[in-house]
Structure 1
Amino acid sequence: MYADGNRPPANPGWEEEEALDIEWAHAVAPHAKIVLVEAADASAAGLYQAVDKAAALHPAVVSNSWGMPEFSEESFYDGQCKLTDAVCTQSTGDAGYPAGYSSTNPNALAIGGTSLQLDAGGATLGETAWSSTGGGLSYFEKRPAYQDGVQNSAFRATPDVSFVADPNTGVAVYTTATGRALWLEVGGTSLSAPVWGALLTDADQLRATAGKPHLSVAGPNGDTAHGDVYALGGKLNDVTSGSNGACGAECTAGPGYDTVTGLGSPLAGVDTALAAMK
């Protein structure tokens, strides 16, 4: 689906990105209906036109794996993700500190990245912050209420949560973007955002069975998306080591919430935990 009704020019980078997002959202939520919406261009106006087009379909999640440097007028676009029946997941970027827009949008669930340490058999030995994950304090967006008591800055902190993103333990992606069929190993917060989107979709399916509304930021029960995610506690792995830059404490992971990996990464059962909440 094209945001402005016109097919944009072919772009191998976009096509690889689309393959990653669709295939790995589908891997985590295999029965989900996934609709790809392509923006006319990579401007904020073009990208948010695509968000609007996607939101009009009333999905559980609008997953976004794009970003740009923050700018003073960015709050003009914040409302596009203030949805009554859906959640925008937004990658924090792959260039380290700081995070970009629109992960700093207080209406988006900002997703950072981690690195897994694995043994020869593929079992997880540990998890640290990925050195290239975006994260940090916004220059312009004020601290949202769901971060009161979590972090002390007057500004919106990112990310909210994380997922493994290190390309050294990347995932298999099938693409024909270059004109021939290829299997690639891909990582980045462009993986983290759709995976969290799929987890929220799984939770929403369970919530629907229980007669509960979708997680959202502006639904009948308020901002359940952030409120419930921030209440997950032991269903998240608290990532306490690693950094994404040379800015001191703001770039260093530690116990509890931090501006490198947020609250941490999902553990088994995070979808059922979200389904059980308000």
Structure 2
Amino acid sequence: MRTTPPARPSLRGSRRRIGSAAAATAALLVAGLGTAVHAEAAAPAKAAKVTWAATPCATPRKSGELACNSLRVTGGTTAFEKAHGITPRAADASTPSGYGPSDLQAAYGLTAASSSNGSGETIAIVDAYNDPNAESDLAAYRSHYGLSACTTANGCFKKVSQTGSTTSLPAGDSGWAEEISLDLDMVSAIAPNANILLVEAKSATMANLGTAVNEAVKLGAKYVSNSYGGSESSSDTSYDSSYFNHPGVAITVSAGDAGYGAEYPAASKYVTSVGGTALSTASNTRGWTESVWKTSSTEGTGSGCSAYDAKPSWQTDTGCTKRMISDVSAVADPATGVSVYDSYGVTAGWYTFGGTSASAPIIAGVYALAGTPSSSSYPAQFPYKDTSALNDVTSGNNGSCTTSYFCTAKSGYDGPTGLGTPQGVAAFTG
């Protein structure tokens, strides 16, 4: 899926995905869980299965391009609607039907940090093509949830091309615009006090997306979120050196949505590879429960042992002699998805999204709450130093594999969820 060299086939087609509803409990919500959405009717006696489709950018627009890792809910009853007793809503609804900022902050122990941390930090979002409505859609999301305004005028938001231009931007693309809205909304949900830099590559090739990563770092971002991927190749080690070797910068990359199997750049030894979970409310002490996100043998969070990238020194699992995916994880199951506001190329309104395109910007936001990494550090190693500050995910799998922890959750490290999900910011502090 690269243009230079070699070109690669797409990882995913244009087929619709049909998902099964994640196991959500009817337990009472924990204190502070509520969002700006209020229950309007009792939940139906039998919740309809959640259905979704891959966003258009999950099918590369041109040969040699990478795929985004996002899925949009098209029907059924989401975990959020079950928990809040809300009647299921159609796509492009006037109110959200997925988890919002207070839900995500509560689930990951970030409520206090999100309200007080992140000021002065810049989180970069790297995506392909242009979303002309990025700023206005971001404003709609933040306004609905009571987050402070983040605009070009107040210096919080900036959109540039891969060359840093604010005026010469790539061609518009409605599929990548959905991805951009998802990414912007997730970093806003987790780190609402941080500044946001959107860097738009002129196309979805590794060369252009990688150039956009370099531009984000050049412009001062210490946190860079990437929600795309493709097949591994022998060129990946050179891409590591050219685009992802940035000490002192937390670079997060989604692990993929095609189930068990390694993707790049999630396999880069310089990035934090982010897997995906199903997230539901529970009556336990935490108030939430998570398992590996898996819809089918061909859809779910990515994981696996890289064929090319060397193992970083901080990874100590013994079954994989090279780089292992993932490092950490966060919610990605569309059935337990997140709310996103989008208007470019679709009916303006609220949509529910999943995919590891949700989990990567969430983790980038957590890094921003944890504080600026030291200039010589590789933040991917931070969680390995304090695993007690993570929620260990111990159930579920994302496919079949010979070495069980490559695809099956267990106590401690495993491929699909890495070391676990955030439990506050301690595991992400250098």
- Corresponding residue of 2:255: 92
Match of 1:54 among 198, 216, 240: 216
| Alpha-carbon separation, structure 2, partners of 1:151 and 1:196 | 25
- The offset of 1:125, in angstroms, is 5.0
- Is the contact between residue 250 and residue 380 of structure 2 (CA under 8 Å) also seen in structure 1? no
| Higher CA-based Rg | 2
Tell me the SS of whatever aligns to 2:351.
Answer: strand
- The offset of 1:118, in angstroms, is 3.2
- Correspondence 1:86-165 to 2 at 5 A: 86-118=249-281, 124-131=287-294, 132-147=300-315, 149-165=316-332
CA 151–161 in structure 1, closer or farther in 2 if over 3 Å, else same? farther
- The offset of 1:119, in angstroms, is 5.3
| Alpha-carbon separation, structure 1, partners of 2:317 and 2:415 | 11
- The offset of 1:150, in angstroms, is 3.2
Structure richer in helix, relative to its length: 1
CA 179–240 in structure 1, closer or farther in 2 if over 3 Å, else same? closer
- Is the contact between residue 58 and residue 85 of structure 1 (CA under 8 Å) also seen in structure 2? no
- The offset of 1:179, in angstroms, is 4.6
| Alpha-carbon separation, structure 2, partners of 1:126 and 1:21 | 23
TM-score w.r.t. length of structure 1: 0.87
- Corresponding residue of 2:338: 171
- Correspondence 1:234-273 to 2 at 5 A: 234-248=388-402, 249=404, 250-267=406-423, 269=424, 271-272=425-426
- The offset of 1:226, in angstroms, is 2.7
| Alpha-carbon separation, structure 1, partners of 2:237 and 2:365 | 26
| Alpha-carbon separation, structure 2, partners of 1:116 and 1:260 | 14
Gaps of at least 5 residues in structure 1 are 205-213
Match of 2:373 among 194, 215, 222: 215
Tell me the SS of whatever aligns to 2:202.
Answer: coil
- Corresponding residue of 1:16: 178
- The offset of 1:256, in angstroms, is 0.9
RMSD: 1.8
The farther-off stretch of 195-204 and 248-257 is 248-257
- Is the contact between residue 241 and residue 252 of structure 1 (CA under 8 Å) also seen in structure 2? yes
- How many percent of aligned residue pairs carry the same amino acid? 39
- The offset of 1:251, in angstroms, is 1.4
- Corresponding residue of 1:229: 383
- Corresponding residue of 1:2: 161
The answer on 1:200 being equivalent to 2:356 is: no
- The offset of 1:124, in angstroms, is 4.4
Gaps of at least 5 residues in structure 2 are 1-159, 295-299
- Corresponding residue of 2:112: none
Tell me the SS of whatever aligns to 1:146.
Answer: coil
Aligned residues: 258
| Alpha-carbon separation, structure 1, partners of 2:258 and 2:335 | 16
- Corresponding residue of 2:351: 184
- The code of the aligned residue for 2:373 comes to L
TM-score w.r.t. length of structure 2: 0.57
The superposition leaves residues 88-119 of structure 1 with CA deviations (integer Å, 9 ceiling, x where unpaired) of 11001111111310000000000000112335
- The offset of 1:227, in angstroms, is 2.9
- Is the contact between residue 58 and residue 86 of structure 1 (CA under 8 Å) also seen in structure 2? no
- Is the contact between residue 282 and residue 289 of structure 2 (CA under 8 Å) also seen in structure 1? no
| Alpha-carbon separation, structure 1, partners of 2:417 and 2:282 | 23
